[in-house]
Amino acid sequence: MSTELLNVLEKKHYFSSVISACTEAIRLANVKVVYNYPGRPATLLVDNIKAEVPHIDVQDYLPNEFVAAGKGFGSSVAGCERSLVVFKDVGTNIACDHFYCLNHIGINRGLVFFISDDPSAWHSQNEEDSRGICFNAGLPILEPHDQYSAFYSILAAYELSEIYRLPVFVRTTGGLLKENYEPKKNNFKTIKLPVAHNFVDIPFDARDKWKSIFSTVEEDKEELVQKQSQIAKSFEVSGLNIVKGIGRLGIIASGLPATQLENEKLIDSISLLKLVTIYPLPEETILNFIKDKERILIIDQGEPLLELLIRDCAYRNGFNKPILGKLNGFVRKVGEFRDDDLKISVGAFRNNKTPEVFPKHKQIAKAKPFKDNDGYLTMLSSLREAVKVVGCRPLYCGDAGQPSQIADTPGYEDLLHMETTMGCSISYLSGGIEAYRRANLKIPFKGIAYVGDSDFFHMALPGICEAAAKDHPILMLLIDNQGAVSTGKQSHMGMKINKDIKELSIKKILEAMEINSLEETSTKDKNDLTKKIINGLRYDGFAVIIVHTVDT
């Protein structure tokens, strides 16, 4: 790859978005396959790759992120090809078991995880900083701040991955992916990316190589620590971290905030280090930057990871200058930086005085309410009628996805009591039911769970198996939208994807559990739907209704 990579770096490239830059870098890096479970904002990249690089095998129909990460490892080690695994912040939680083993046993061909976090939760059930999981696994993290840093980050990630035989993470945010940039504004003067020379694949059946076992853990961890030191040294000379401006005050920023500070014209007489190589921290770069500064402000989107790492680095090396950030109130701790957030932080930094308050954001995230003709709304209307007829006390639980829209649809807010993650609702209800049974008390509620078709394969199935085995008195409404409707209606394993992939029947999977009350209906026939919900509510055991949604 060495000659090809050098030619890439010498050629002029023009991009107006991070998405287009990453797509081109992925093509140039000779990536063969993209593994994904759909979720915004990360899906934006996957959709663009499908459109612009049709020869790459894009699998955006996988059951979940754990499967996607596992297939990435298989492609790297057994298939000896480069792969990209893409998911949003909360998907990192599902996949992370792999990280804590692959950091020990390593990989063959380049394996890069592209993760897009969602500060302020514009498309998510919570706000999460995925870097914490990657950091805990001790794996490299790159965080671009514009289209060109993203382009070079992707190329560097694949080379680093093969040089050190480790997965590499490229962390972005929704705001970064949606931002438009001036194509000719490229601040990178000298890029010195690492190159994986003379790469040799380790055989997939090599003895004791691809096993994470008790006896090798400490030895493997020692090797990881050594690799971290070597990676940090390569970061020092990469040219990915750039300094803008001159001043006695210094700001170190990563991700979109590094670009926002410039765009909002907040760095007059301030020196700004735009840090891309987050972990392992390039300590020499940090120390050279802060040595002549009066005080430092750290701005990174999410948890104060960078702030903690830099403060530790400075104090270990005898620098006792004030290092300010989220932990001492100079930077907003909650949400995506917008409105006057950065202006307030920089103003307080100049005055060396903690801001009195960060005003509430002018706009907050809300789920889109259901449209009047949405089949899901028809189902909710039937459910309300059925509950009234039966006279039970409902406990409505929903998995992440469409149920979040219930809370923001006027007139239907009362039809959702609990909703957090994918696959949560059945287990939440099961836990409550068993608590009353242990206390020999009558269960005071009728559990009603909203489960989606994509969600069924993602995380819901284990909880369903357990509840069905115990025949818990729960009515599960399995809403069949024929796709992951909340993220663009991508396909799942219960659909006809192509001629080479067998369609798995959700109904047959449920029948195999020997569920005694299993019905199927459609929102097109509201009377039949209401009747079957009434029967399901009256059934004293685990009942399932597969509801095919049809917009009216």
DSSP-assigned letters across all residues of 376-410 = HHHHHHHHHHHHHHHT--EEEEE-SSTHHHHTTST
SS (H, E, C) 110-152: CEEEEEEECCCCCCCCCCCCCHHHHHHCCCCEECCCCHHHHHH
Rounded to whole angstroms, the Cα distance separating 170 from 175 reads 15
Q: Which residues of 122-144 are buried (b: 16+ CB within 10 A; e: fewer)?
A: bbbbebbbbbebbbebbbbbbbb
Domains recognised in the chain with CATH numbers: 2-236 (3.40.50.970), 242-351 (3.40.50.920), 375-548 (3.40.50.970)
Reduced to 3 states, what is the DSSP secondary structure of residue 450?
strand
Give the closest residue to 19 by CA, choosing from 94, 86, 111: 86
Q: Are 86 and 35 in contact (CB under 8 A)?
A: yes
Give the closest residue to 219 by CA, choosing from 232, 230, 229, 208: 208
State CA 251 to chain mean position distance: 27
Rounded to whole angstroms, the Cα distance separating 233 from 422 reads 40
Rounded to whole angstroms, the Cα distance separating 28 from 13 reads 12
Collect all residues with Cβ–Cβ distance below 8 Å to 288 and sequence separation of at least 6. none
Rounded to whole angstroms, the Cα distance separating 64 from 551 reads 27
Residuewise pLDDT in 10s, the chain (552 residues)? 445 555 566 567 889 999 999 999 999 999 999 999 988 999 999 999 999 999 999 999 999 999 999 999 999 999 999 999 999 988 899 999 999 999 999 999 999 999 999 888 888 888 899 999 999 999 999 999 999 999 999 999 999 999 999 999 999 999 999 999 998 888 888 888 888 888 999 999 988 899 888 888 899 999 999 999 999 999 999 999 999 999 999 999 999 999 999 999 999 999 999 999 999 999 999 999 999 999 999 999 999 999 999 999 999 999 999 999 999 999 999 999 999 999 999 999 999 999 989 999 999 888 889 899 999 999 999 999 999 999 999 999 999 989 999 999 999 999 999 999 999 999 999 999 999 999 999 999 999 999 999 999 999 999 999 999 999 999 999 999 887 777 777 888 888 989 899 999 999 999 999 999 999 999 999 999 999 999 999 999 999 999 999 876
Q: Which residues of 370-380 are buried (b: 16+ CB within 10 A; e: fewer)?
A: beeebbbbbbb
Rounded to whole angstroms, the Cα distance separating 173 from 185 reads 21
pTM confidence score: 0.93
